């Protein structure tokens, strides 16, 4: 009976780990992340400067990402997950923007907006901005396409700020509650598993696995760090558009 219980809980533990790794998205850093190698180093540097100036002048954080594919996921959902899991945007302001281009499955672009950004850059606006740049992408002029998108995004941001739009986060409290619920569920499951294994004196079997998993999660939860700077812990709610 003990062996059956151990096996069942081990399977549950493995399934939880597997679920946490399904549909993973890449870790990114400010601002350009050219995973598909579509940009030259000079072009990447110029786009980084462009995005850095926007952040300095407006506080908005823009992430530019190219990928070979979206791991089978819808590209707008993928862009939102990248922004959310990497914390693109300032904490409490949620003013991040992700500009994505995918080559293979889900070929095309997407612009995802943070929870506050979408009040300035609604789905119709980002769709228009993306569609205007699409011919440049189709011609292989990736630098010009990204630069045009970032320029148009900046115009919208500046216009909104000139109009005295208050940059208060819409929905960030809800995001925090959701995150708290997830953490609480994980803690309850982990504690229950430890208590049961303790009762049957089998904690040593899983201690190393559990510790390694927790450390891995903690290490992987930092916002978008690949040894350099990181984004500011903003959150995304699904806004944006494909192009």
What are the structural domain ranges in the chain?
Answer: 1-243
pLDDT at residue 115, as a whole number: 96
CA-to-CA distance for 178 and 84, rounded, in angstroms?
A: 13
Cβ atoms 157, 59 nearer than 8 A: no
CB atoms inside a 10 Å sphere around CB 106: 21
Cβ atoms 61, 89 nearer than 8 A: yes
Low-confidence ranges of the chain (pLDDT < 50): 11-21, 164-178, 203-226
CATH number attached to the domain at 1-243: 3.10.310.50
CA-to-CA distance for 232 and 155, rounded, in angstroms?
A: 22
pTM score, two decimals? 0.68
pLDDT at residue 173, as a whole number: 42
CA-to-CA distance for 112 and 122, rounded, in angstroms?
A: 10
Strand 236-242 with 108-114, pairing: antiparallel
pLDDT at residue 166, as a whole number: 45
CA-to-CA distance for 132 and 57, rounded, in angstroms?
A: 25
Angle at 22 between CA 16 and CA 23, to 5 degrees: 150
Structure tokens belonging to residue 154: 């900046």
pLDDT at residue 137, as a whole number: 98
Cβ atoms 30, 64 nearer than 8 A: no
Q: What percent of the chain lies above the pLDDT cut of 70?
A: 64
Cβ atoms 142, 38 nearer than 8 A: yes
pLDDT at residue 64, as a whole number: 98
Q: Which helix (H) or strand (E) holds 96?
A: strand 96-102
Residue 207 CA neighbour count, 13 Å, CB half: 5
Residue in 217, 232, 240, 236 with CA at minimum distance from that of residue 24: 217
Residue in 76, 75, 110, 82 with CA at minimum distance from that of residue 96: 82
pLDDT at residue 184, as a whole number: 60
Handedness of CA 143, 144, 149, 155 (dihedral sign): positive
Cβ atoms 218, 81 nearer than 8 A: no
Cβ atoms 89, 62 nearer than 8 A: no
Cβ atoms 182, 20 nearer than 8 A: no
């Amino acid at each position: 009976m003990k062996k059956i219980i151990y096996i069942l809980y081990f399977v549950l533990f493995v399934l939880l780990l597997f679920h946490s790794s399904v549909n993973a998205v890449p870790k990114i850093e400010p601002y350009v992340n050219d995973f598909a190698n579509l940009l030259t180093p000079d072009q990447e540097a110029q786009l980084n400067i462009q995005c850095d100036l926007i952040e300095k002048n407006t506080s908005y954080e823009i992430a530019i990402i190219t990928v070979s594919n979206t791991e089978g996921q819808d590209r707008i959902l993928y862009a939102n997950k990248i922004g959310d899991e990497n914390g693109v945007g300032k904490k409490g302001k949620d003013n991040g923007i992700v500009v994505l281009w995918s080559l293979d499955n889900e070929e095309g672009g997407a612009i995802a907006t943070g929870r506050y950004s979408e009040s300035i850059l609604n789905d119709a606006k980002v769709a228009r901005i993306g569609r205007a740049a699409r011919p440049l992408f189709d011609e292989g002029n990736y630098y010009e396409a990204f630069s045009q998108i970032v320029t148009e995004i900046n115009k919208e941001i500046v216009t909104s700020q000139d109009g005295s739009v208050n940059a208060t986060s819409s929905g960030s409290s809800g995001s925090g509650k959701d995150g708290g619920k997830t953490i609480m569920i994980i803690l309850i499951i982990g504690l229950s598993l430890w208590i049961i294994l303790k009762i049957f004196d089998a904690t040593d079997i899983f201690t190393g696995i559990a510790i390694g998993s927790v450390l891995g999660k903690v290490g992987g939860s930092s916002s978008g760090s690949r040894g350099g700077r990181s984004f500011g812990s903003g959150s995304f709610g699904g806004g944006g558009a494909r192009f």
